[in-house]
Amino acid sequence: MLARTADNLFWLARSMERADYIARTIEATLRLEYLPKSDGDKMREWEGALNAAGAYDGYVAAHGELDEETAVEFLTFDRTNPSAICNCLENARTAGRAVRTALTAETWTAINDAWLELKRFEASHRLAQPLDRLALARFLDYVKKASLDFDGSCYRTMLRNDAYWFNRLGIFIERADNTARLLDVKYHLLLPSTEPVGGSLDYFQWVAILRAVSAATAYHWVYRDRVKPWLIADLLILKRAMPRSLISCYESIDRALDSLARDDGRSGVAQRQARATHAKLERASMTQIFQGGLHEFITAFIEDNARLSNTISEQYLFT
C-alpha cells in the first residue's frame, strides 16, 4: 500500500485510542473527586490525570495553577493541547479523509460520527459555562462509544490486509503506552507485597485505576481476592487474559507485525524488536519487577514502545 496511507492508518488508530484513554482518565478522576478530601488532594488527582495524559507540562506552561475546570477543559476542548480529545478526534478524521479508500464505509462512519458529535458538544459547551457535569459525562460516554465503534468496525468489517494490520499496530502501541503511563503515575501508590497496605482512601485510588481500564470486574475474576496494589500491577503488566495489559498488547502487536511480514514476504527490525519486548514480558515476574523498581521497568517499557513506533515508521517508509 502507499506508504503515506499506512502512515495515516497507523496514526488514525493511535488518535482514536488516545481519545478513549483520555476520556476514561477524566472519568476516573472525576469519580475520585466525589471522595471527601482536602483541596490539595483534589489537585493532586488532576496532576496525576494530566501526567497520565502526558499533558502536565503543557498545562503548567499554558495555565500555571491547577484547577479542575481548566484541567478538564485542557483535556477535552483545548486546541492548544495536542492530546486533548478534540484534537485526537480532529486528527483522526483528517487522517481518515486522507485515506478514505483504505477504510470500510462502517469504519469511516464511526470516525465521522464521532467528529460530528464533537462539533455538537463543542458548540453547546461554549454556551454552557461553568462546567456542566451532566453534559461532560454524556460527552465522555460518547467518546468511549465512538472508540468502541471504530475498533469494532475495523475488527468486523476490514479485510485482513495491510490496512487492517497497520490499524491494529496503531491501536495496540497506543494502548500499551497509555496503560504504562497510567501505571507509572499511580506507581507510588502500588507497594510491594512486603509493605503494609494503606487505608480505605488508597483502596479507592486503586479501584480508580482499574475502572480507568475497565478492569474492576476482571480483577476479581482473576484474583478472587481483595484489591491489592501489587496484583493490579500484575494484572496490567503480565496477565494475558487482560485485554489492556502490556503483555496482551504485545501479543497483538506481534501478530500484526507477523501478518504484515507474511503478506509482504519479508521480516525486518520491527518484527525483531516487537518479539524481543514480548519475550521480555513473558519471562518477567512481579517480584523481579518490584526488585528492579516498577518505575524503572515502566520507563524502560515506554521507551522501547516508542522506539518500536519509530522503527515501524522507518521500515514501512512512512514519509
Return residues touching another protein (CB under 8 A). Answer: 1-6, 94, 97-98, 100-101, 105, 108-109, 112-113, 116, 162, 264, 316-317, 319
CB nearer to another protein: give 111 or 207.
111
Q: Which residues contact 168 (CB under 8 A, 6 or more apart)?
A: 13, 154, 252, 253, 255, 256
Q: Which residues contact 42 (CB under 8 A, 6 or more apart)?
A: 33, 68
CB nearer to another protein: give 269 or 279.
269
Minimum CB–partner distance for residue 6 and another protein (Å): 5
CB nearer to another protein: give 1 or 131.
1
CB 142 within 8 A of CB 121: yes
Minimum CB–partner distance for residue 163 and another protein (Å): 11
Minimum CB–partner distance for residue 152 and another protein (Å): 17
CB nearer to another protein: give 168 or 244.
168
Minimum CB–partner distance for residue 166 and another protein (Å): 8
Minimum CB–partner distance for residue 86 and another protein (Å): 16
CB nearer to another protein: give 195 or 314.
314
Distance CA 283, CA 61 (A): 41
Which pairs with CB-CB distance under 8 Å and at least 24 residues apart come from 211-219?
Answer: 211/24, 211/27, 211/28, 211/31, 212/24, 212/25, 212/27, 212/28, 212/182, 213/24, 213/179, 213/182, 213/244, 214/24, 214/244, 215/242, 215/244, 218/242
CA distance readout (Å), 289 to 4, 223, 234, 292, 306: 39, 19, 10, 5, 20
CB 286 within 8 A of CB 183: no
CB nearer to another protein: give 100 or 307.
100
Minimum CB–partner distance for residue 96 and another protein (Å): 9
CB 278 within 8 A of CB 256: no
